[in-house]
Chains A and B, each alone.
Chain A
Amino acid sequence: MKVLYFAWIRERVGKAEEDVSPPASVVTVGELVQWLAGRGEEYAYAFDNPKVVRAAIDRVHVQPQAAIKGAREIALFPPMTGG
């Protein structure tokens, strides 16, 4: 599945998007964030406070407990500051 990063999460990870294949044990968005955090120093830094990470699946806001099964595009980003 494709994962997109925005704002300071993108900067910390060092890329805007990538394809990832998490193991079957990763079921929810929250678990995906936890799994990503274990992929290396830059990921650990980007996701050091999972509480502030917001997510969207296929461009719709979701909660951390949302299931990632069937998702084409998962975006992870900090709280929004538009307007």
Chain B
Amino acid sequence: MSHIRISSDPIDSAAETAALARGRTDIGAVVTFIGVCRDDEAGEKIAALSLEHYPGMAEAEIESHVREAETRWPLLGVRVVHRTGRIEPGETIVLVAVASAHRQAAFAAAEFLMDYLKTKAPFWKKVEAAGVTHWVEAREKDAKAAARWKAPARDAAE
């Protein structure tokens, strides 16, 4: 019950969230995380981001982390949509929507998936600012955020 999509099309977060729960009455909680392009990157005003990815591996990597989330928490549905190409400030870069019977599992799984997406999914951001471009550097705090999930997860469904 997962849907993974990588596309250069704009992301309609309301439609994605609705699709997750459509026709279902067993879902008690849906947590949606939306990552949005800011107009500032490390203190610099930016015009846009360009997202590059490794086709095939990006989907497989997200899929394997969705499977992992499903073994850790009792999930009823997962949707991950990641945009590529040129993205302007205010536009959505990534959407992670997780459904469960109860909120704890949905919150935890959404956070787990985002932390892994940041550090393990093969995507790269390039900044376009004042007519010049440069690649975004990976952040230590993102690696730390992902590393904390290596400890066994508590049962969030209780």
Contacts from A to B (Cβ < 8 Å): 4, 6-8, 56, 59-61, 75, 77-83
| Binary per-residue interface labels of chain B (86-118) against chain A in the complex, 1 for a CB within 8 Å, 0 otherwise | 000000011000000000000000000010011
Complex formed: what's the CA distance from A68 to B21 in Å? Answer: 44
Given A6-B52, A61-B120; A80-B138 close (CB under 8 Å):
yes
Q: How many residues of B contact A (CB 8 A)?
A: 29
Does B82 count as interface, using CB distance less than 8 angstroms?
yes
User: Which of A7, A59, A77, A82 contacts B94 (CB under 8 A)?
Assistant: A82
Does B124 count as interface, using CB distance less than 8 angstroms?
yes
Contacts of A75 in B (CB 8 A): 54, 57, 122
Contacts from B to A (Cβ < 8 Å): 35, 51-54, 56-58, 60-61, 82, 93-94, 114, 117-126, 135-138, 142
Q: How many Å from the CB of B25 to the closest CB on chain A?
A: 31
Apart from A82-B122, A83-B82: 19 A-B pairs, beta carbons within 8 A: A6-B52, A56-B54, A56-B122, A59-B56, A61-B61, A61-B120, A78-B135, A79-B119, A81-B118, A81-B125, A81-B135, A81-B138, A82-B53, A82-B82, A82-B118, A82-B121, A83-B35, A83-B117, A83-B123
Complex formed: what's the CA distance from A6 to B50 in Å? Answer: 13
